[in-house]
Amino acid sequence: MEKQFPHNFLFGAATAAYQVEGATREDGRLPSIWDVFAHSPGKTFGGQTGDQACDQYHRFHDDVRLLKEFGFRSYRFSVSWSRIFPEGKGRINEKGMDYYRRLVDELLRNDIIPLVTLYHWDLPQALEGIGGWLNRDTMSYFANYAQKVVREFRGEATRFITVNEPSVAAYEGYLTGHHAPGHTDFRETITVAHHLMAGHAYASNAIRSVSQATEIGIALNLSPIYPSTKDQHEAARTYDLVSNQFFLDAACSGKYPQEVLDLYGTFFDLTFMQQADFQMMRSQTLDFLGVNYYFPTVVQKGEHPLLSDVLPPQGLLTDMGWAIAPNGLQDLLVRIHRDYPQVPIYITENGAAFPDKVIGDHVDDPRRIDYLKGHLETCLDVLSQGIDVKGYYVWSLLDNFEWAHGYSKRFGIVYVDFESMRRIPKASAYWLRDWIVAHTAREA
Ligand code: FCB
């Protein structure tokens, strides 16, 4: 018999606030670092911004209808901190909170489980003004914001992701400068990585103090690291320690790998990592690990003492130039299960960008179907090996504002015409709906 997903496997679709909501100046919202960054010359493709994005703020009913129509049982979205606390702290902005309550109500009415990301890269600009994630205080503002939002949902949303992809926020925001706030300094990168991981722990603790019934996870972007040749093993190992294990260990066992600390310690003063942070990290347990997987990475030794050189990807590529390799997901999940067997896993993002076109009223996206099929079949394989994967969220429900790439990269299973805001489900949406039904066991 063909392999099947268990009946309670959670299929969902994912988005993030700044990428889909628009309405950036409405109902009391103030700018986040992404508003400022996108509005700065030369930072995004064609100077594009999330000002309108997919206008989900005004069209969430339509989007929930799409989720329902395509059979999704869960929706992963993020809350914009700047809507709840426009200045990052202080008094709750009721109108902002009300938007998310209405969204959650609409989801629940349609039997769709909300999975709420609290921080998907959009720090309130007011906090950036006092140092942003470089400032330790941001961790407590984050914990306060997280606690208040969870409480305001009054038990209607019970699953939360504290931070989305801390390594991308740290490395793209503070080393390459491709993302907000656009800095380029390695010590800052590590400082921010630590404040995000410790911030996750402080936020988890704050949430648990007001709600025992919540499930708290974190979404890490993970990429299996392979050496370019056999003698590049060391380069692959170092890169893996810095880019994967640092975050995995922090999230799953509340500490950093000693080797990474030793490595960083030879270059930088690490006094920003305080004992209280480690205590807090160790005291928290993770209810689930969110894995965002897109592509594998091949490396060799480079000039940089802390980072190896990444080789250009080979073989089939997406429109992002990312290698298509479902076996990378397999390697990753096997490794996570080996190292942290107790942690339940959700794939919280997986998907691909292709230059989709509307022809007539249709969008044919066979390459996306292949991509999704390969990765979903991998999920079935690892499930049959006894690995506890509980759900899969496709990135993304909608074509949206792809950060520095603006609207030039289409990740949606639903096409968005950014002039009219019309949504047109792509062939992959129909395919996914039917494939999931065909590969999920009926409830006994
Ligand atoms: C991930 C981000 C998500 C989206 C996808 C393509 O790194 O979490 O917002 O941009 O990549």
The pLDDT tens digits for 333-379 are 999 999 999 999 999 999 999 999 999 999 999 999 999 999 999 99
pLDDT the model gives residue 12? 99
What's the CA angle centered on 414, arms 409 and 419, to 5 degrees?
Answer: 70
Contact between 343 and 413 under an 8 Å Cβ cutoff? The reply is no
Q: Which pLDDT value is given to residue 86?
A: 98
Tell me the CA–centroid distance for residue 165 and ligand 1, in Å. Answer: 8
Q: How far is the CA of 20 from the centre of ligand 1 (A)?
A: 12
Q: Among this protein's residues, is 128 annotated catalytic? A: no
Output the CA 60–ligand 1 centroid distance in Å.
20
Q: Which helix (H) or strand (E) holds 142?
A: helix 137-152
Question: Probe ligand 1: pick from 122, 165, 172, max atoms within 8 Å of CB?
Answer: 165
Is residue 3 included in any domain, yes or no?
no
| Model pTM above 0.85 | yes
Please give the structure tokens belonging to residue 245: 């294990």
Does residue 55 lie in a domain region? Answer: yes
Q: Give the residue ranges of the chain where pLDDT is below 50.
A: none
How far is the centre of ligand 1, averaged over its atoms, from the C-alpha of 276 (Å)?
A: 31
Q: Say if ligand 1 is within 6 A of residue 164 CB.
A: yes
Q: Whose CA is nearest to atom 9 of ligand 1?
A: 16
Burial class (CB in 10 A: 0-12, 13-18, 19+), 136: middle
How many independent structural domains does the chain possess?
A: 1
Residue 1 domain-assigned (yes or no) = no
Q: Which atom of ligand 1 is nearest to the CA of 165?
A: 8
116, part of any domain: yes
For the question of residue 172 being annotated catalytic, the response is: no
Question: Is 443 inside any structural domain?
Answer: no
The CATH number linked to 407 is: 3.20.20.80
Question: How much is the pLDDT for 2?
Answer: 81
Cβ of 320 closer than 6 Å to ligand 1, yes or no, is: no
* Residue 38, helix vs strand vs coil: helix
Does residue 5 belong to any structural domain of this protein?
no
Q: Which of the following is catalytic: 165, 172, 188, 402?
A: 165
How much is the pLDDT for 1? 61
Which structural domain, as residue segments, surrounds residue 277?
10-438
Q: Is residue 197 part of a domain?
A: yes
Q: Is residue 34 part of a domain?
A: yes
Residue with tokens 């979404």, as numbered in its chain: 219
